[in-house]
């Protein structure tokens, strides 16, 4: 009995030593990995998140540990750039609207009806016109813009059904309490659409829609489905007012801690993840209209020319346009169709 127990004890001690030894070597291996925490407001099932987890994480795994945090659990939406700049975070998926808080000229990428489609976003991001924008963010915030991610065509998604409110022109949105994310550039876009914009972070939108605290929100179809906004809304006005993007960003200090070979891997991994995410978002956009209709929503196009004219005029008349570098709007337009 005693012998048996001792043997068992001996066996478990040996096993425990083995486990500890392998845990120790894993910890040792991890110590050589650079931690890359990415904070974002989107969910784990958002296709941008999925693409980063599937492509970016594995591609850098020899020298970095990719650790995404979703639903703004690590940093509140809109605070990520500052967190990276202060050395408290390594990566995020930042919007041009957030960058415009620091550098007003970025508002050119937030203006309604400027980007035409996903390919246009990529052409703009990779064009030399983008270099001074990227350099400013690098020099002044210590943040590197790695690649451009496609979020999709933003549309107006309302609680009211079409028999209560049909939207044809921006005037029809007068008095509509439309949730927009909480920066000046977003609020301006909501007002340019004719609505009364209300700032609110993404994580609060579902509840605000379900209680009627707001009449609606704007986001692309994949986000309406991923965040289940369709459960608490009745119609989607297909305004396509913003072909929306986010930039994959990384701390420049962290980026410079990598060897040139590792830097090239990080860059390629970001480009590959962005491409996969873009293709998946485009596919979802093409198919989700049917899903939303099956779930009782009405989708329709308003007078797009009326929206485009009103929104473009609002921007050109605004203080935002005064910050746009000479000739850049024309260069952006020339890269489109």
- Tokens representing 250 are 């990384």
DSSP string for residues in 252-300? HHHHHTS-HHHHHHHHHHHHHHHHHHHHHHHHHHHHHHHHHHHTT-EEE
Least gap, CB of 46 to ligand KDO (angstroms):
6
Residues 6+ apart with CB under 8 A from 108: 114, 320, 324, 328, 329, 332
Task: Compute the least distance from the CB of residue 64 to ligand KDO, in Å.
Answer: 22
Give the dihedral of Cα atoms 132, 136, 142, 147; nearest 10 deg.
-40
Q: How many residues of this chain interact with ligand KDO, rule: CB under 6 A?
A: 11
Residue 42 contacts ligand KDO per CB under 6 A: yes
Residue 109 interacting with ligand KDO (CB under 6 A) = no
* 209 is a contact residue toward ligand KDO (CB under 6 A): no
39 binds ligand KDO (CB under 6 A): no
Q: Candidates 34-42, 142-150, 207-215, 315-323 — which segment interacts with ligand KDO by CB under 6 A?
A: 34-42
Interacting positions 177-196 with ligand KDO (CB under 6 A)? 181
Q: Name the residue among 174, 183, 213 with its Cα closest to residue 107.
A: 183
Q: Which of 36, 38, 39, 41 contacts ligand KDO by CB under 6 A?
A: 41
Pairing of strands 143-158, 64-69: unpaired
Name the one range near ligand KDO by CB under 6 A: 5-13, 36-44, 60-68, 308-316: 36-44
144 contacts 249 by C-beta, under 8 angstroms:
yes
Cβ at position 51, least distance to ligand KDO in Å:
13
Residue showing tokens 């549309």: 155
Q: From CA 285, how far away is CA 74, in angstroms rounded?
A: 29
Of positions 40, 100, 195, 274, contacts ligand KDO by CB under 6 A: 40
152 binds ligand KDO per the rule CB under 6 A: no
Does 324 contact ligand KDO by CB under 6 A?
A: no
Is residue 219 close enough to count as binding ligand KDO by CB under 6 A? yes
- Which stretch, 17-25, 38-46, 131-139, 311-319, contacts ligand KDO (CB under 6 A)? 38-46
Q: Per rule CB under 6 A, is residue 80 in the interface with ligand KDO? A: no
Within 8 A by CB and 6+ apart from 6, the residues are none
Binding site for ligand KDO (CB under 6 A): 40-42, 46, 95, 151, 181, 202, 219, 223, 246
């Amino acid at each position: 009995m005693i012998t048996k127990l001792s043997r068992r004890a001996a066996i478990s001690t040996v096993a425990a030593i083995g486990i500890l030894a392998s845990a120790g070597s894993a910890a040792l291996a991890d110590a050589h990995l650079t931690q890359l925490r990415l904070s974002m407001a989107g969910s784990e099932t958002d296709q941008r998140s999925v693409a980063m987890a599937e492509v970016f994480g594995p591609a850098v795994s020899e020298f970095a540990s990719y650790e995404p945090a979703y639903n703004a659990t690590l940093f509140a939406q809109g605070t990520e750039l500052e967190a990276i700049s202060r050395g408290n975070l390594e990566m995020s998926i930042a919007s041009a609207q957030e960058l415009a808080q620091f550098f007003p000229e970025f508002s050119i990428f937030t203006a309604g009806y400027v980007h035409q489609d996903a390919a246009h976003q990529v052409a703009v991001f990779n064009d030399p016109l983008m270099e001074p924008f990227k350099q400013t963010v690098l020099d002044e915030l210590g943040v590197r813009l790695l690649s451009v991610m496609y979020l999709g065509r933003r549309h107006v998604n309302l609680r009211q059904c079409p028999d209560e409110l049909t939207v044809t022109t921006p005037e029809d949105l007068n008095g509509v309490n439309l949730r927009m994310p909480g920066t000046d550039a977003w609020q301006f876009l909501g007002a340019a659409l004719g609505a009364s914009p209300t700032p609110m972070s993404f994580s609060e939108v579902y509840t605000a829609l379900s209680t009627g605290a707001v009449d609606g929100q704007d986001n692309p179809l994949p986000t309406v489905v991923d965040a289940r906004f369709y459960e608490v809304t009745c119609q989607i006005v297909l305004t396509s007012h913003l072909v929306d993007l986010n930039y994959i960003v990384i701390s420049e200090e962290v980026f410079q801690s990598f060897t040139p070979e590792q830097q090239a891997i990080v860059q390629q991994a970001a480009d590959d993840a962005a491409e996969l995410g873009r293709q998946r978002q485009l596919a979802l956009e093409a198919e989700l209209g049917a899903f939303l209709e099956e779930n009782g929503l009405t989708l329709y196009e308003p007078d797009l020319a009326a929206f485009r004219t009103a929104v473009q005029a609002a921007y050109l008349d605004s203080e935002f346009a005064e910050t746009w570098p000479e000739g850049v709007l024309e260069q952006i337009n020339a890269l489109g169709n």
